[in-house]
Amino acid sequence: MKRLVCLFLIALFVFAAACGSAPNETKTDPAATAPAETVTAETKETEEKKHSDQNPEIAQPFDAEELKAIPVATAEMTQDQLRDICVRYMVLQASVVWTPDFDLSYECTYAATADRDGHLNLPAIRRYGGQPYSSAARDIWALLDHYDPETGILYASQYGASVGTVIGNNCGTACFWGWSRISSTITFSGTRTMCYNRGCIPLGPYTYDTEKTENFDVITTQMICDSNGEDTMYESYALLQKASGIAMYNAGITGHTRMVKENATVVRDGAGKIDPDQSYVVCVEQGSTQRAETTEENGQVFYIGSRDSKYSFRELFNTGYLPFEVPELCGKAAVQKAKAELISSDQTVASISEGTVEANYCISRVDAIFTDADGKIAYQTNALGSSNATDQYKMKISKVFLLTQLSRRLKKGQSYTLTMTARLGNGETLTFFEGDIQL
């Protein structure tokens, strides 16, 4: 039976084109991994004295100007500039400090820190760094829509009690939004879809059957690592640069995705062979574990995920990680100028409400504003984009507003100016419709 499995794997894995060039190599001792959460007696006593409706003071709430300062990618930018954009965005996602307006608790049975009832608990007596762990797949702007930049309070009381309703990210979608700053070619909804058919291009000399692997499920990433062998995978890891990706998925048991923060550190012996214990990468990643960190200005912050995790090449191989690039970061696709377009049969309000907005970058949010003849806002509404891979670049207008909504909010027979905008993954907000309509 073992021989049959081996023959199957050998026949299945074929050559996939490599991207990128080897980064500069330096010799540096690997650092220890990020510390686990620690709770001192003083911390515990302080928390017990506080009531859940008393939010801790945040000395330096997240400043959206940092987000606005990230440049919009253009086709004229260098690969290094594009990589910087992705990493800067990813680091900001992992850095925003907040506290919920009430004790936030929601179901997430598979989280490492879930309680006995399968819930993640984030009490309002704590400050948190990074977005909440969630399968809702929202970008950082969606979180900031409900964030008070003066106090650092996140108004989470409107959230449901499910991991799919809390505005936040999981590991894969956090990376996705980082790459969406420069990419209009990738589509995925989770770690097992980080494959060639979704725009993720294998990096280095390792191979697998890109034509047959729609998702990493039956053919797991660990099987691919094992079939290629340690030396081949180590040479692949050596090509990792900032903003590259690494992902693992093992048949529904576990999965994770990370964005590389800086070029891989590669150490070779006298014969040129890679030392897998001394060679490593530093990553930014989203997770569900709350790890306490202390800074001089802000005191204790419980970070969700990590901004500076180090992993040796041996650790990556032993846990089945595959390195990859998105097309725009390795010359396989050009950065596109953002565009958004309303697709409808005509410009009547009925037709518009049944239409669709389509964009070439992932849609974060669509807004609709109706103003009257005096220029006053009569009605405004919005809708967030979809985490479904097939709908990431489009949205039905009926998700934003329905005719029944308009009939209750607007006066029949009166003219209004309708303005619709789409907030896109590359950081721009585009107006895709502006015109007069009448109910």
pLDDT 10s digits, 242-262: 999 999 998 666 789 999 999
36 pLDDT above the threshold of 50: no
The architecture of the domain spanning 340-438 is Sandwich (2.60)
Considering only residues 286 and 210, tell me which one the structure prediction assigns the higher pLDDT. Answer: 286
As annotated, the residues of the chain forming the CATH 2.60.40 domain(s) are 340-438
Query: CA 36 to CA 436: how far, in whole Å?
Result: 58
Q: Residues 407, 350: contact at Cβ < 8 Å? A: no
The arithmetic mean of pLDDT across residues 70-74, rounded, is: 97
* Tokens of residue 437, six digits: 């309509």
Instruction: Give the pLDDT of residue 312.
Output: 98
What's the pTM?
Answer: 0.83
Residue 283 has pLDDT above 70, yes or no: yes
pLDDT at 219: 83
Mean pLDDT estimate for the chain? 84
More confident site: 192 or 426 = 426
Closest CA to 300 of 29, 94, 99: 99
* Range scoring the smallest mean pLDDT among 99-108, 269-278, 290-299, 394-403: 290-299
Cα dihedral 193, 79, 336, 15 sign: negative
pLDDT band of residue 192 (cuts 50, 70, 90) is confident
Q: Residue 287: pLDDT band by 50, 70, 90 thresholds?
A: confident
